[in-house]
Amino acid sequence: MLYCRQMASVISISHLQVVLGHGYLALDDVSVALPSGRITGIIGPSGAGKTTLIRTIVGRQRIRSGTVSVFGEPAGSKVLRGHVSYMTQEQSVYQDLSVAENVRYFAAMLGLKKPQAAVREVLELVDLQQKSGLLVSDLSGGQKQRVSLASALLGKPELLVLDEPTVGLDPVLREQLWELFRRLRDEGTTIIISSHVMDEAERCDDLLLVREGKLVAHGTPKGLCERTGTKSVEASFLKLAGKEAS
């Protein structure tokens, strides 16, 4: 059996090092185990290594050394297809197709047995059922973001990996998406979310604080605040990052 919901860790990363073009060290000796059935936030400023770490988890990034396993399998393994879903920062939608046509395309790629029902279900989840016939090119940025998210939700993946899913969205829509994330978590989905917005860190169950390719800290928002004697995750990050730099 690929996956047991009682697994202590969905993702296990050991001494991960990633080097990008011109020898840039994007991730340096990152080791961490991420828990199941929780929302884990990868938090840090732009250029910290968040997207590179996300890409290694879903098996789309070449690594120099170390290991990354997901559900006990090497990241990117064929056996993980259908169990892991990934939403990139860029909107992975086709502008000349309708909302429903976009999601149906991805449903066909997954080979879902009841694609029409699956499309209706995910469009309802992201509150786009009334927009299903509109061309994506006619949607707002936030609506396009939700089309991408709907596609990622197809097949009810056990692990949902979201790279900056709320960037550029208005506060009302951000809150709606976070309500959805919490509902999915409560139904058993493990969610990994990257963000450079510190107030989103407070919404997560578990946090990875990253800076300049290094893992600064790992813990719950409350635990990190207690550890640093601060009242917010942002203050905790600043204190921990200062120690890392000194």
Residues 40, 44, 47, CA angle at the centre, nearest 5°? Answer: 125
Q: Give the pairing type, strands 159-163 and 190-195.
A: parallel
Residue 132 confidence (pLDDT) = 96
Domain ranges for the chain, please list them: 37-46+81-197, 216-246
- Does the CA dihedral 238-241-245-246 come out positive or negative? positive
Residue 5 confidence (pLDDT) = 46
Q: How many angstroms separate the CA atoms of 193 and 160, rounded?
A: 8
Full-model pTM: 0.91
pLDDT per position as a tens digit, 43-96: 999 899 999 999 999 999 999 999 999 999 999 999 998 899 999 987 789 999
Residue 82 confidence (pLDDT) = 87
Q: Does the pLDDT of residue 4 top 80, yes or no?
A: no
Residue 170 confidence (pLDDT) = 83
Rounded to an integer, the average pLDDT of 205-212 is 96
pLDDT per position as a tens digit, 162-199: 999 988 788 888 898 999 999 999 999 999 999 988 88
Domain 37-46+81-197 has CATH 3.40.50.1000: no
Of 105, 195, 100, which Cα lies nearest the Cα of 139? Answer: 100
pLDDT-derived band of residue 244, with 50, 70 and 90 as boundaries? low
Residue 7 confidence (pLDDT) = 54
Q: How many angstroms separate the CA atoms of 104 and 112, rounded?
A: 10
Amino acid type, 246: S
Residue ranges with strand state E in the chain:
9-20, 24-35, 39-43, 65-70, 73-74, 84-87, 159-163, 190-195, 206-211, 214-219
Token output for 229: 């004697």
Residue 70 confidence (pLDDT) = 97
Q: How many angstroms separate the CA atoms of 57 and 87, rounded?
A: 12
Q: How many angstroms separate the CA atoms of 92 and 69, rounded?
A: 25
Q: How many angstroms separate the CA atoms of 95 and 88, rounded?
A: 16
Token output for 176: 């709606």
Residue 169 confidence (pLDDT) = 81
pLDDT per position as a tens digit, 88-138: 987 789 999 999 999 999 999 999 989 999 999 999 999 999 999 999 999
Query: Can you name the residues that pair with 193 across neighbouring β-strands?
Result: 41, 162
Q: Is the CB of residue 128 less than 8 Å from the CB of residue 84?
A: no
